[in-house]
Structure 1
Amino acid sequence: MKNLYLVVFVMLFLSCKSTYQTQTFQSKNTPSIPDYNQEINWAVLPTTYNEELQKFAPNQTEVNNLKADVFYIYPTLNTDKKDIRWNVPINDKEQQDKVLNSAVKYQASPFATSGKIYVPYYRQAHVRSYTLYNEGGKEALEIAYSDVKNAFKTYLEKYNNGRPIIIASHSQGTTHSRRLLKEFFDEKPLKKQLIAAYLVGMGLKPNEFKSIKPMFEPTETGGFISWNTFKKGKFPENKDWYKGSVTTNPITWNNAKTTTLEQHKGFLYTNDKLYKKALTIEITDGLVWSTNPKFPMRFFMSFMKNYHTGDINLFWEDVKQNVELRTKTWLSKN
């Protein structure tokens, strides 16, 4: 069992490779368009919580009483160098397992006590779509976003009923949520229903949106927060994407540049245990610098500089409590 935990942990934190087998992008190879009126095309709906999410979510009665909704968009999970597909069919069982047992479990779960969770499967673009953007990546990402957009439209028409909304995303998910916010919320009537947008794992500039502003107080609502996590003192190879980007402190949620161990509320590890007071952070230009967390097998992280895939679960309890606070604040004013 310990070996299983170790394998899952390493998968969660490994950086993406830069060389992949590929094929020329052709529309005829594109997987079928999902119909989001069919519940089977959703990874999570409030009435179909998966087993892993239920470990951290309220019981069904409490879920029914939640006043807000959470629309979560998961990150790139297809990083297989030998996979020549540009987009993954939503019925791919291997990818579905990753969505439910990695992304939902470690990233959507801290939002589960604040709102009803909605997670659509979408034809995610292969990770090489970023490095080969002009060689098929643009088209692949466009297909992925079209699914997210259609799922959100179905959510609004079928499920929302005027309820307040939390947008949560990571990595490729944030590539799509950025566009979603611009199309549906920014200077739009729906902006009034936005509790907060947690747009993690991508560089977003302060002026990314017109009416949706960065938030630097833990009780602010109606805006967005964002961060990218690296080992203390380390930088990405490409400095262009993160310089000047919004960098929320995911522990204090204010303008504090540093934290203490006592302030860290909890890192969710793959044994489903929460490790409190496990790390400190320092805010630098566009990055959250983290110390090597204190937890079993921590020596593995001493070899890593990029904590990208742990952006949310490194601060799992911190995120959970902040989402609850912002939701409570929004509901008290509306």
Structure 2
Amino acid sequence: MIRKISCCVFLMVLASCKSVHTVSTFQKKDIPVAPNYESERNWAVLPNTYSEGLKEFASQEMDTLKADVFYIYPTLNIETEDIRWNVPIADRIQQNKVLNKVVLFQASAFTTAGKLYVPYYRQAHLRSYSRLDQGGEKALLIAYSDVKKAFEVYLRKYNKGRPIIIASHSQGATHAKFLLRDFFDDQPLQDKLIAAYIVGTVMKPDLFKTIQPMTSPKETGGFVGWNTYKKGHYPDKKDAFKGSVTTNPITWDAAKTTTLSQHKGFLYTNKNLYKKALKIEITDGLVWSTNPRFPLRIFMSFIRNYHVGDINLFWQDIRENAELRTNTWSQNN
């Protein structure tokens, strides 16, 4: 029963409903206190603060890793009864979600490619995307201001000239786009960019001046991105992702379809890795996936939007690709 409940939570966590709670228009007095990233307590993960759970997925020789990974997590405050526009970074419930959900099952994919850095940030509530004029835009800008300050501290205090992977999902990907624009695009730091995984958002190919979509598995210095749906299904707005960069997260090249044997592994919330679990088809703006093969796959039959699994579904594929790109960058620099 516990596993069934866990599956339902995993698959339906991003489903949104109309709130029956009264949400006030955004007001400055309600903005949570800004974090100071000089303090380690305002970071969910630093290389010296890996949790025991994260260590299970991390490189056993972390000191030998030559790259860094700056990870920005997806929207986690989605409850309709939460009327806040931004969640304080000291919120224990939010911190628990960060550490025990997305760090473990998303960011962990990158821990053999580089040392992991994950700042807490005053994340905007899910409603911000649908209520931009009522306060959503301001809430998202506050969230990004934290990510930006954290990255500035990271560069000054921790980076020490090491190459960088930017990893992100959903709201995290929204902020990652701004981060690339402000620090990498047509700037010297682009030379240190191994790759940017900007997943679960619209990514137009001409979004940046000098950072381009990557179309081969060994390519470096650019970005990849995709949005996952069940095969044959579309978003409510059918053309929502039309024209968006759609990377094949299994082959990492121009292949439009894959076989079961090519899929390297789906990491489920029981920490088991399911290999050869799905096939995909690349369509305009979308990765169409078959129903993944794992013990509780029956629950997936009712889900059309696989957004919550954008990274988990291809966890081992991403892990090996991040290692490959990092090794390629090191060999060429």
CA distance in 1, matches of 2:9, 2:299: 12
CA distance in 2, matches of 1:229, 1:144: 25
Mean Cα deviation higher: 233-242 or 140-149: 233-242
Letter in 1 for 2:216: E
Deviations 1:48-94 (A, max 9, x none): 002221110123xx111110000000000001011000000001111
Q: Name the counterpart of 2:317.
A: 318
Query: Do 2:74 and 2:170's aligned partners in 1 also have CA atoms closer than 8 Å?
Result: yes
**Of 8, 11, 18, which aligns to 2:9?**
11
The 3-state SS of whatever aligns with 1:33 is coil
CA distance in 1, matches of 2:194, 2:5: 36
**Closer/same/farther in 2, CA of residues 313 and 49 from structure 1, 3 Å limit:** same
**In the TM superposition, what are the counterparts of 1:149-168 in structure 2 within 5 Å?**
149-168=148-167
Letter in 1 for 2:168: S
CA distance in 1, matches of 2:53, 2:122: 22
Query: Do 1:18 and 1:128's aligned partners in 2 also have CA atoms closer than 8 Å?
Result: no
CA distance in 2, matches of 1:240, 1:92: 36
CA distance in 2, matches of 1:55, 1:97: 18
Mean Cα deviation higher: 134-143 or 236-245: 236-245
**In the TM superposition, what are the counterparts of 1:77-92 in structure 2 within 5 Å?**
77-92=76-91
Mean Cα deviation higher: 45-54 or 242-251: 45-54
Q: Name the counterpart of 2:48.
A: 47
Q: Name the counterpart of 1:35.
A: 36
Normalising by structure 1, we get a TM-score of: 0.97
How far residue 16 of structure 1 moved from its aligned partner, in angstroms, is 2.6
CA distance in 2, matches of 1:202, 1:9: 24
Deviations 1:222-264 (A, max 9, x none): 0000000000000001234300000000000000000000000
Q: Name the counterpart of 2:267.
A: 268
Deviations 1:286-308 (A, max 9, x none): 00000000001100010000000
The 3-state SS of whatever aligns with 1:71 is strand
**In the TM superposition, what are the counterparts of 1:129-208 in structure 2 within 5 Å?**
129-208=128-207
Deviations 1:157-177 (A, max 9, x none): 000011000000000000000
CA distance in 1, matches of 2:91, 2:294: 33
CA distance in 2, matches of 1:40, 1:124: 17
Normalising by structure 2, we get a TM-score of: 0.98
Query: Do 1:266 and 1:274's aligned partners in 2 also have CA atoms closer than 8 Å?
Result: yes
Deviations 1:6-59 (A, max 9, x none): 333322221331412322211101110000000000000000002221110123
Q: Is 1:237 matched up with 2:236?
A: yes
CA root-mean-square deviation? 0.9
Q: Name the counterpart of 2:112.
A: 113
Letter in 1 for 2:132: Y
CA distance in 2, matches of 1:121, 1:36: 9
CA distance in 1, matches of 2:190, 2:4: 42
CA distance in 2, matches of 1:149, 1:238: 31
The 3-state SS of whatever aligns with 1:89 is coil
**In the TM superposition, what are the counterparts of 1:295-310 in structure 2 within 5 Å?**
295-310=294-309
CA distance in 2, matches of 1:4, 1:108: 24
Letter in 2 for 1:7: I
Query: Do 2:173 and 2:198's aligned partners in 1 also have CA atoms closer than 8 Å?
Result: yes
Unaligned 5+ segments in structure 1 are none
Query: Do 1:198 and 1:226's aligned partners in 2 also have CA atoms closer than 8 Å?
Result: yes
Query: Do 1:69 and 1:163's aligned partners in 2 also have CA atoms closer than 8 Å?
Result: yes
CA distance in 2, matches of 1:54, 1:194: 25
Q: Name the counterpart of 2:249.
A: 250
Percent identity over the alignment? 63
